[in-house]
Amino acid sequence: MSGIDELPPLREVIARHGLSARKALGQNFLLDLNLTAKIARQAGDLTQADVLEIGPGPGGLTRGLLASGARHVVAVEKDPRCLPALQEIAEAYPGRLTVLQGDALEVDAFAHLTPPVKIAANLPYNVGTELLIRWLTPETWPPRWQTLTLMFQREVAQRIVARPGDKAYGRLAILSQWRADPRIVMDLPPGAFTPPPKVSSAVVHIEALPEPRYPADPAVLSRVVAAAFNQRRKMLRASLRGLAPDIEDRLREAGIAPTDRAEQIEIERFCALARLLQAS
Ligand code: SAM
């Protein structure tokens, strides 16, 4: 007995299926089922939701999600070596786990999911930020997911929740906070994983807001923020010069001093500037 289900302990599963961790696939496994159950709980009530999991690996978090009552889990795993272990979990939870083998950047997992959808994953670090950016920039808002509960390197988690004036404040913070609400809900030391990564990790829980906090066209806002943080140490009148001939006036109208730097500016002000640039 492993504690949360009738399946064998993960160490045994890994040994039996020869799942030696591969660095190229970002494989740092969570083997403590109490911990994976705790991460699953951070995703909230799953009983009425479909859950998308990226990178289930040997299935520790998958088991946590199913044991905490997820209606249906769709798990996308690139490494075919993990499939037999995941198949055993599918058999223990009949009809509740669908495993898709492939690259999460290519597979259309939403085609297999019924709303409401929650996303939960101990992400492979090499594709984690790219997936997050895609989830935060769908064609229409609200997105097809309600919440994201994701493991990141702690440094990335800090960039997601950073506030103006923080060293980590930049494009990722603005993207994450403009139309969603991110919080760091757990910190994990390297030793929580097998093998341990070099850096600490954190779980971030992100709730989609029904609509953006402040109105702005996503493409214009993205251009403004990209230009502003591309040269984050420069004054905005210099870094944003290319966006409009009268940028200093536009900045003042948006409530921003032309001599301010990007890292000081609230999302509300960037949105005001994006609206003014779009109108002019
Ligand atoms: N969820 C498991 C756990 O917590 O123990 C494994 C997490 S491990 C950090 C990342 C997992 O993502 C690995 O199983 C790896 O094979 C898988 N993976 C890596 N790149 C992937 C990709 N592009 N698409 C889908 N899965 C990927």
pTM above 0.80, yes or no: yes
User: Which pLDDT score is estimated for 232?
Assistant: 87
Q: Which CATH class is domain 10-208?
A: alpha beta
Q: Using a 6 Å cutoff on CB, does residue 131 contact ligand 1?
A: no
Report the C-alpha gap between 93 and 251 in whole angstroms.
57
Q: Is 55 annotated as a binding residue?
A: yes
In whole angstroms, give the CA distance from residue 223 to residue 270: 10
Distance between CA atoms of residues 48 and 84, nearest Å: 27
Tell me the C-alpha distance between 248 and 135, whole Å.
34
Tokens of 208: 């989609």
* Matching fold, domains 10-208 and 218-279: no
Atom 1 in ligand 1: residue holding the nearest Cα: 56
Residue at token pair 């390197």: 153
Q: Tell me what ipTM this predicted complex has.
A: 0.99
Q: What separation in Å is there between the alpha carbon of 158 and the centre of ligand 1? A: 22
230 is annotated as contributing to ligand binding: no
Distance CA 108, CA 232 (A): 35
Q: Is the CB of 105 under 6 A from ligand 1?
A: yes
Q: Could you tell me the distance, in angstroms and rounded to a whole number, from the CA of residue 96 to the centre of ligand 1?
A: 20
Ligand 1 centre from 182 Cα, in Å? 22
Cis bond before residue 116 (omega within 30° of 0): yes
CATH says 218-279 is which class?
Answer: mainly alpha
126 in a known ligand binding site: no
Q: What pLDDT shows up at residue 280?
A: 82
Each as own residue / partner, the long-range contacts of residues 244-250 (CB below 8 Å, 24 or more positions apart, any chain) are 244/277, 244/280, 246/280, 250/276, 250/277, 250/280
**Percent helix, strand and coil across the chain, each to the nearest 5:** 40, 20, 40
CB-based contacts of 228, cutoff 8 Å, min separation 6: 236, 239, 240, 262, 265, 270
10 Å Cβ neighbour count for 6? 7
> What spacing in Å lies between the alpha carbon of 142 and ligand 1's midpoint?
27
Protein residue whose Cα sits closest to atom 18 of ligand 1:
55
- pLDDT tens for the 280 residues of the chain, in order: 456 899 999 999 999 999 999 999 999 999 999 999 999 999 999 999 999 999 999 999 999 999 999 999 999 999 999 999 999 999 999 999 999 999 999 999 999 999 999 999 999 988 999 999 999 999 999 999 999 999 999 999 999 999 999 999 999 999 999 999 999 999 999 999 999 999 999 999 999 999 999 999 999 999 999 999 999 899 999 999 999 999 999 999 999 999 999 999 999 999 999 999 999 8
Residue 261 backbone dihedrals phi, psi, to 5 degrees? -110, 155
Residues 6+ apart with CB under 8 A from 134: none
Q: Where are the chain's structural domains?
A: 10-208, 218-279
Indicate which residue's Cα is closest to atom 20 of ligand 1. Answer: 25
